[in-house]
Structure 1
Amino acid sequence: MAYRMVFSDMDGTLLKSASELSEKNIEMVGKAVDQGVEFVICTGRGVYGVERFLEKLHLLGRPGYVICQNGAAVYNLENMEMVLKHSFSSDDLRPVVEAARAEGVEVYLYDDRTFLAEKVTPQVEAYCRVMHADMRILPDGLEYEGYFTKCLLSGSYEQLDAVRKRVEPIIAGKLNHFFSGPQYLEFVKTGVSKGEALRETAEKAGVPLGEVIAIGDSENDLSMIQAAGLGVAVANAQEHVKAAADYVTETTCEQDAVADVLQRFVLGEQ
């Protein structure tokens, strides 16, 4: 099978745990792109947390797309303009924010390049440093004048699971939710997922799903792993993600798992 598109998650997949992009991954992505393969980053991050890595991968300015906020926002690599946006209102989000406040977890809100937090905390400051995000403080995030593309809750797994159980029956049909890590619970508009974004992007490119690879490690990657012709879980992936994958790498994100996938299935070097 000749694969023409590769969709890759970032954190825990393409990047090492310290948000580092290895030279080997850069090299193998470059080789794949030179052979005409489209490499698509598909991440939960906002676009501001992705652009410096696109530059390192020499993808900026090329034809193609980058998928952000778990499929809620898609940008054209040639000019970094948003070409697809799935948003929801404060009214849709209100039960989530109220439940989060009751459990004492932090609430982060997103709209394109806007990152909103309700207060400054060490965790918020650390997040902004890692993501290169410009923070806007709004004591009541629900008073934001625009629409949201994503809500991220940060806390312990026990706190987040309590929020999830409390709001599930209320937000059904309005918001989709998933864990992107033990300490992060994310909400997007119903119907939005990495898998749906993969389908839409592959269709735009005229590439059948059977000629698509998707690589990930967490619950929010499941939909794209299941949608792709070849769904790959890296060795450090959550167990239920590995169980859903067609192939599990022998290497972790710390050991350049994405490069190994490209060498094996795209470049034919293994």
Structure 2
Amino acid sequence: MEIKMIALDLDATLLTSDKTISAANTQILKQLHAAGLKIVICTGRPINVIQDYINQLGLTGVNDYTITFNGSLVINNATRAAIFKHGLTKEDFVPLMQFVQANNDPLNILDFDSIYELTELAPSQYHQIMKADVQFIPTTFADLSDQIEYSKAIMSTDPSRLDQARAAFDSAGKYHVVRSQPNILEFLAPHMNKAVGLKALLTHFGWTFNNLMAFGDAENDLEMLKQAGMGVAMQNGSPEAKAVSNATTTFDNDHDGVAEFLTRYFK
């Protein structure tokens, strides 16, 4: 098994708790990138929100890519051309919209460029959690365009309320629902996940999952951790993430867990 690509989740994996990439993580990833390995950030966020991280790691070449929106978009970092894109229509969100209205829950809907804050609903915590310079567009659901494709919807509120909503909402066949952070519940197209985007990117390079090492910690990382030739769960990761992985880091995300594992693995 020859590792040619390293896929990295951001929150609680590559990033510290204060949302930064440590010097040690930066150094080893830049070294491996210079040696010819593909370093791929895999995130639920749009690429413009993580541009500073891309720049910090030097992933700005014409053959550098990012997995965004939890697999729904695979985008070239330099040209912003997509090699894979799959989302939802406005009509697809109607059952979810009916549920959140009936329960006074918040909802943000994202296309592949913008974040829409639905003003007729309860206030969302997503803006505060994002901690990024990105525009939130206030709108009503009725005013959302039905002529474009959307990447996902996000319910962001207190964890206990998200637990209740997930238990009460029948999402079967409508969405792939994942908890990416304690305060964020995501609604993706059915069967959409990070492994789907990674498969498209691996195929683009003529590789397979046997050539992939993936790092993650949470529910939205499970598929890529399971499919990767070397799936690596963070020491601070969930029991579910550790159960589907080949290995677990010695240290957590605040103590260079990624860097220590990579240094030991690649010697």
TM-score of the pair, normalised by structure 2 = 0.92
Residues 46-77 of structure 1: CA deviation (Å, up to 9, x unaligned):
22221111011110134121001101111112
- What secondary structure is seen at the aligned counterpart in 2 of 1:213? strand
By how many angstroms is 1:125 displaced?
4.2
Question: Cα gap change, 1:142/1:12 in structure 2, threshold over 3 Å: closer, same or farther?
Answer: farther
The one-letter amino acid paired with 1:157 is: P
What is the match of residue 163 of structure 2?
A: 161
By how many angstroms is 1:204 displaced?
1.1
Instruction: Compute the RMSD of aligned alpha carbons.
Output: 1.9
- Structure 2 CA distance, aligned partners of 1:250 and 1:162? 34
What is the match of residue 228 of structure 2?
A: 228
Residues 14-55 of structure 1: CA deviation (Å, up to 9, x unaligned):
001111111111111111011111011011112222111101
- Residues 249 and 261 of structure 1 are in contact (CA less than 8 Å); yes or no, is this contact kept in structure 2? yes
1:12-161 correspondence runs (5 A): 12-119=12-119, 123-127=125-129, 130-138=131-139, 140-145=140-145, 146-161=148-163
- What secondary structure is seen at the aligned counterpart in 2 of 1:105? coil
- Residues 175 and 187 of structure 2 are in contact (CA less than 8 Å); yes or no, is this contact kept in structure 1? yes
Q: Gapped runs of 5+ residues in structure 2?
A: none
By how many angstroms is 1:231 displaced?
0.6
- What secondary structure is seen at the aligned counterpart in 2 of 1:143? coil
For structure 1, which segment, 95-104 or 209-218, has the greater mean C-alpha deviation from structure 2 after superposition?
A: 95-104
- Structure 2 CA distance, aligned partners of 1:73 and 1:122? 24
By how many angstroms is 1:233 displaced?
0.3
- Structure 1 CA distance, aligned partners of 2:77 and 2:107? 29
The one-letter amino acid paired with 1:259 is: A
- Structure 2 CA distance, aligned partners of 1:208 and 1:45? 25
TM-score of the pair, normalised by structure 1 = 0.91
- Residues 99 and 166 of structure 1 are in contact (CA less than 8 Å); yes or no, is this contact kept in structure 2? no
Question: Cα gap change, 1:49/1:66 in structure 2, threshold over 3 Å: closer, same or farther?
Answer: same
- Structure 2 CA distance, aligned partners of 1:260 and 1:83? 32
The number of equivalent residue pairs is 263
Question: Cα gap change, 1:201/1:122 in structure 2, threshold over 3 Å: closer, same or farther?
Answer: closer
1:182-221 correspondence runs (5 A): 182-221=182-221
What is the match of residue 251 of structure 1?
A: 251
- Structure 2 CA distance, aligned partners of 1:188 and 1:206? 27
By how many angstroms is 1:94 displaced?
1.5
By how many angstroms is 1:122 displaced?
8.0
By how many angstroms is 1:255 displaced?
0.9
- Structure 2 CA distance, aligned partners of 1:91 and 1:193? 21
The one-letter amino acid paired with 2:53 is: F
- Structure 2 CA distance, aligned partners of 1:29 and 1:67? 17
By how many angstroms is 1:132 displaced?
2.1
By how many angstroms is 1:81 displaced?
2.7
- Residues 48 and 132 of structure 1 are in contact (CA less than 8 Å); yes or no, is this contact kept in structure 2? no
- Structure 2 CA distance, aligned partners of 1:158 and 1:142? 29
- Structure 2 CA distance, aligned partners of 1:214 and 1:261? 12
By how many angstroms is 1:166 displaced?
3.1
- Residues 109 and 141 of structure 1 are in contact (CA less than 8 Å); yes or no, is this contact kept in structure 2? no
- Residues 124 and 157 of structure 2 are in contact (CA less than 8 Å); yes or no, is this contact kept in structure 1? no
